[in-house]
Structure 1
Amino acid sequence: MATLAERHNVRIRGEGNSVVVFAHGFGCDQLVWKDVAPAFEGDHRVLLFDLAGLGRADPELYDRQRHSTLDGYALDLIALLDSMGLSQVHLVAHSVSTMIAALAAIRRPDLFASIVMIGPSACYLNDDGYRGGFEREMLDQLIDLLEANFVDWARVFAPIVIGNPDRPKFTDDFVETLCRADPQFATPFARVTFFSDCREDMPKVGVPVTILQCQEDPVAPEPAIAFVHETIPGSRLVRLEATGHCPHITHPEETAETVRRALTDVAPAAGT
């Protein structure tokens, strides 16, 4: 019988006492970290995995009821770390995985030495007195397009997420990444991602958090990131030179350097 690590397509590389876990965002897989993760292998153990329903994760991991909320993915992360006997890991999370990380840390703070959140948003929908970046109608249209034609949706969504219109190769590559996703899993995960509201959970996060904010991020605009920063106790905000929503893809060197500084700013901890 396959282990939980095998079912999540876990890959571990590197050396060191501390463990750095990289968690990818919506529609992606662990390959999006290919230009960032190797920078940590010289002095950390680096753990890459695929979320349920994405990448090369076992399709049977996905449960429509369990994964109808972000809590299901948070429970997956907790179960994965427990199954591998890991604790006090440093978690680097992007986009929706930042909220998965937050929910997991609320339940099990002992598992996390620190969290680095790249482009976090606690709620993508605009609300009274809150700017998440999207109106309901726009998100409904994106979901409708996803359901009608997955490839067309990828071609619309990729340039929104990547930005950097002067560097079209990144958008083209991200379209290919999105098209690797299985629509039967990606469609419900899109609904969970874009219609979740974790704003009330942010004050409950009790582990050290560093937030990385890109310029001109259309998915996690400045007010949304400011909300996360202001409501997570003791969180630190670092503004990147990178633009768009995926600095680990478009600006990997700056991302790796900034993550490394964030890790050195917290007390060293060993993954056991």
Structure 2
Amino acid sequence: MSVAARNNVQLLGNLLSDKTIICAHGFGTDQRAWLEVVAAFTDEYKVVLFDYVGANDKTVPFFTRWKYKHLHAYASDILDIIEELGLQNITFIGHSAGGMSGALAAIAEPDWFSRLVLLNASPCYLNQDGYVGGFSTTVLDELFAQMETNFHAWASGFAPMVMANPDRPHLANAFSSTLSAMRPDVALAIAKVIFYSDHRLDIGQLSHPTLLIQAQEDVAVPHEVGYFLEKHIPHSTLIFLDTQGHLPHISDASQVIRAIKPFLK
């Protein structure tokens, strides 16, 4: 099985460049979420886009519960892509759980990466003693029950809450569309892996310069998570964008681009 086929890998930009950007999407989206952002970097960088297994109909045939039962499996897929394409000098840009999977990949093979950008990422979504993750077990149980009972109704309500920006309803509609395109049982399985994950003890091993970008208002990732990451990732810088919602690379791509460009220089 080709890794490129499994993850629907696409190459854009300056294919002769020795500098590579890999962009990883989060739950409920696919690689198309990055198109507006990466357009700002295609002159100088080789850009790799891919879909996580289970994200859409192209990748869901490769999904198995026994393999994709933790984020390390998605990190392993990232390393497979890098190895198959022979990539080096990698800047990894990842959103949400896609960002945390990239962090795990960089911890496993640090020499393959040069820097990371983690956008609205979280090492743990569940509130714990002394830690604010944003969700209680009761809220997560209700969320999973709704997904299991009527997935498409849940998606139509979840999308505008997470996207925010109610003055631009087309954004939530687009997110609802990609979310609803997931196979319901696979979406539920992936959501449980993400929301029950806890990588707070892992992130201290991340040795690369890391830019942490957080939205000012994000129902999924509170400010406390950003401060936690900044404290525990040794070479990290935290910035907050004046944006709403969990997907600023879609709702406010220009702000995300302006935040990333100085970091790459």
**TM-score, normalised with respect to structure 2:** 0.95
How far did 1:229 drift?
1.1
User: Contact 1:14 / 1:46 at 8 angstroms: preserved in 2?
Assistant: yes
Q: How does 1:132-143 map to 2 (within 5 A)?
A: 132-143=133-144
Q: Which residue matches 1:6?
A: 5
Q: Tell me how far apart the structure 1 counterparts of residues 207 and 129 of structure 2 sit (CA, whole Å).
A: 27
Q: Tell me how far apart the structure 1 counterparts of residues 149 and 12 of structure 2 sit (CA, whole Å).
A: 39
Q: Which residue matches 1:257?
A: 258
Q: How does 1:212-223 map to 2 (within 5 A)?
A: 212-223=213-224
Q: How does 1:83-98 map to 2 (within 5 A)?
A: 83-98=84-99
Tell me the percent identity.
37
Where does structure 2 lack aligned partners over 5 or more consecutive residues?
none
Give the partner amino acid of 1:252. Answer: A
- The DSSP-based 3-state class of the residue aligned with 2:81 is helix
How far did 1:53 drift?
1.0
Deviations 1:216-267 (A, max 9, x none): 1111110011111110001011221222111111101111221222211xxx
How far did 1:58 drift?
3.4
Give the partner amino acid of 2:192. Answer: R
Give the partner amino acid of 1:44. Answer: Y
Q: How does 1:5-154 map to 2 (within 5 A)?
A: 5-15=4-14, 16-154=17-155
Asked if 1:169 is matched to 2:174, the reply is no
Deviations 1:15-74 (A, max 9, x none): 132111110001211011121111111111111000011135433432211210111111
Give the partner amino acid of 1:111. Answer: W
**TM-score, normalised with respect to structure 1:** 0.93
User: Contact 1:126 / 1:132 at 8 angstroms: preserved in 2?
Assistant: yes
- The DSSP-based 3-state class of the residue aligned with 2:201 is helix
Q: Tell me how far apart the structure 2 counterparts of residues 214 and 71 of structure 1 sit (CA, whole Å).
A: 26
- The DSSP-based 3-state class of the residue aligned with 1:9 is coil
Q: Tell me how far apart the structure 2 counterparts of residues 260 and 25 of structure 1 sit (CA, whole Å).
A: 21
Give the partner amino acid of 2:195. Answer: F
Residues 203/31 of structure 1: CA separation in 2 closer, same or farther (3 Å cut): same
Asked if 1:241 is matched to 2:242, the reply is yes
Q: Which residue matches 1:269?
A: none
- The DSSP-based 3-state class of the residue aligned with 2:36 is coil
User: Contact 1:94 / 1:117 at 8 angstroms: preserved in 2?
Assistant: yes
Q: Which residue matches 1:270?
A: none
User: Contact 1:78 / 1:104 at 8 angstroms: preserved in 2?
Assistant: yes
Q: Tell me how far apart the structure 1 counterparts of residues 70 and 128 of structure 2 sit (CA, whole Å).
A: 20
CA RMSD for the aligned pairs?
Answer: 1.3
Q: Tell me how far apart the structure 2 counterparts of residues 58 and 213 of structure 1 sit (CA, whole Å).
A: 28
- The DSSP-based 3-state class of the residue aligned with 2:48 is strand
Runs of 4+ in 1 over 2 A off after TM superposition: 55-61
Deviations 1:180-213 (A, max 9, x none): 1122321100000111011111111111110001
Q: Tell me how far apart the structure 2 counterparts of residues 55 and 256 of structure 1 sit (CA, whole Å).
A: 26
Compare 138-147 and 2-11 and name the one that shifted more.
2-11
Q: Tell me how far apart the structure 1 counterparts of residues 182 and 263 of structure 2 sit (CA, whole Å).
A: 31
Q: Tell me how far apart the structure 1 counterparts of residues 58 and 174 of structure 2 sit (CA, whole Å).
A: 21
How far did 1:103 drift?
0.9
Q: Which residue matches 1:178?
A: 179
Q: Which residue matches 2:157?
A: 156
